[in-house]
């Protein structure tokens, strides 16, 4: 059995999406949020499907919509039994650096919430590695570095801090060098994810990504590490269960 530790399921697509995943032996799905609206929707999906769990939080590209009222809403949402983590949260300096201070403020708010409620975090970090690391060190939190694409040195730093690395379709891309890092990282620190509907793995790039492609990512990871797909499945599933308390 596989677990997709990071996907974005829309409610109107959930029936077919979950069915396709289960048919591919991806039995558990963790649905990441981007803002308050998607957090509410993801909890609703989790209430309908017993094998779908929710993360709640605000993506760094959506911090402009965050305020004190939505903070109160999130403080209630994290008490829901379907919520297994806070995320995705973090920093993204790729498109703009103009709201950097606001991103950091919101990031800290959710890290504090995670720390106080003993919840793991799902971290988005793009063009912001050092700030992400420095801020994470201020809080007693662990979780997953979503869509990890950094250096081996950075990977080891995150692992030393207690985090696992989310590995997805990028590993299969022809121009990706991620395998050069991942091949030196023990499976015990890796979880599988799709980030659907984005980052569809090869050879399915022309299609919208779904959790059903997790076995494709697992096969690529197994090939790079010289182990069986079964071992990748068993270890990454165990990792995900531990992190998200499933």
Mean pLDDT by 10 residues, the chain (246 residues): 98 97 98 97 98 98 91 96 97 87 97 98 97 98 97 98 98 94 96 98 97 98 97 98 98
DSSP state letters, 183-224: TTS-GGGEEE---BTS-PPTT-TTSPP-GGGHHHHHHHHHHH
- The per-residue pLDDT for 81 is 95
- The per-residue pLDDT for 68 is 86
Residues 2-244: name the CATH superfamily.
Answer: Metal-dependent hydrolases (3.20.20.140)
Torsion of CA 3, 4, 8, 14, to 10 degrees: -40
- The per-residue pLDDT for 65 is 83
The DSSP code for 167 is: E
Given a contact cutoff of 8 angstroms between Cβ atoms, the answer to whether 78 and 117 are in contact is yes
CA distance 33 to 199: 17
Given a contact cutoff of 8 angstroms between Cβ atoms, the answer to whether 46 and 68 are in contact is no
User: Does the predicted model carry a pTM greater than 0.85?
Assistant: yes
Given a contact cutoff of 8 angstroms between Cβ atoms, the answer to whether 182 and 190 are in contact is yes
DSSP SS3 for 86: strand
């Amino acid at each position: 059995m596989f677990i997709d530790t990071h996907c974005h399921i829309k409610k109107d697509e959930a029936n077919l999406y979950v069915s396709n995943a289960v048919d591919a032996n991806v039995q558990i799905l963790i649905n990441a949020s981007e803002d308050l609206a998607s957090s509410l929707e993801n909890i609703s999906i989790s209430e309908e499907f017993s094998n779908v769990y929710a993360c709640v939080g605000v993506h760094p590209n959506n911090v402009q919509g965050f305020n004190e009222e939505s903070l109160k809403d999130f403080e209630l949402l994290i008490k829901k039994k379907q919520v297994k983590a806070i995320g995705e949260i973090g920093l993204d300096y790729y498109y703009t650096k103009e709201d950097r201070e606001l991103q950091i403020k919101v990031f800290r708010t959710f890290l504090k919430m995670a720390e106080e409620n003993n919840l793991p975090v799902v971290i988005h970090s793009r063009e912001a590695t050092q700030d992400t690391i420095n801020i994470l060190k201020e809080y007693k939190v662990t979780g997953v570095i979503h869509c990890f694409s950094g250096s081996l040195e950075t990977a080891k730093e995150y692992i030393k801090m207690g985090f696992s690395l989310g590995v997805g379709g990028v590993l299969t891309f022809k121009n990706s060098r991620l395998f050069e890092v991942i091949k030196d990282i023990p499976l015990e620190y890796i979880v599988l994810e799709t980030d659907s509907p984005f980052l569809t793995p090869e050879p399915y790039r022309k299609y919208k990504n779904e959790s059903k492609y997790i076995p494709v990512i697992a096969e690529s990871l197994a090939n790079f590490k010289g182990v069986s797909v079964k071992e990748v499945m068993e270890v990454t599933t165990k990792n995900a269960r531990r992190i998200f308390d499933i």
